[in-house]
Amino acid sequence: MEPIEQVVAMPRIGDKAPEFKAVTTQGEINFPNDYKDKWIILFSHPADFTPVCTSEFMTFAKMEPEFTALNCQLVGLSIDGLYSHIAWLRTIQEKIEFKGMKNIEVKFPLIEDISMEVAKKYGMIQPGESSTKAVRAVFFIDPKGMIRAIIYYPLSMGRNFDELKRALIAMQTADTFGIATPADWRPGDDVIVPTAGSCGVAKERMENKDDITCSDWFFCTKPLPLEKVKTK
């Protein structure tokens, strides 16, 4: 009789972020409790000493002050040991140059996950892609410890870090102002006003001469000036 493989359901948007304790390059962490009242980007990469991952870590490390200014903690993970992590990050700082970046020090925690416990808990192992390496997963976790967005990339494709920052700002802006953001929204663009919940509100919006512009009752936008949006 074949052994039954344990199946762990992937966390979904709106779920509470699975908790764990782990050893990292910045000491032990209790996740996500150590980062209460902060946003968190938890991301996985396939392996240390690989070129795509190296380019990503350099980019994240360079942008870390920008994420910190947005009250966001970066936390990385791969299925490698702590000493491998330390050696790889030291190599990045001492030897690697990429897009004008060099002498890059990675200061955010990188989780040791040889047991794959955390990777499996977050659905980062996808056997169709690899049974021994985590895919490039990105989890956005809000200050209440809830998963707000999930993005997955294959092993062969590096992430778009401008998009990761844009997504974070868009979610924070939606929470602050009670709005939604349209396709390709950038800070300073018009935002979407929530759909009217009654005929009366819909009629009022269509007749509104203030700052709300309605193409129809269900599609209304309004300006949100760049200076009101927290971008740094």
Give the chain's radius of gyration (CA, Å): 21
3-state secondary structure of 203: helix
Catalytic residue annotation: 53
CA angle 201, 203, 209 (to 5 degrees): 95
Residues β-bridged to residue 92 = none
Residues β-bridged to residue 127 = none
90 assigned ligand-binding residue: no
Q: Bin 178: left if φ > 0, else alpha if -120 < ψ < 50, else beta.
A: left
Distance of alpha carbon 129 from alpha carbon 151, whole angstroms: 15
CB 78 within 8 A of CB 110: yes
Binding residues: 136
**What residue numbers does the annotated binding site for substrate cover?**
136
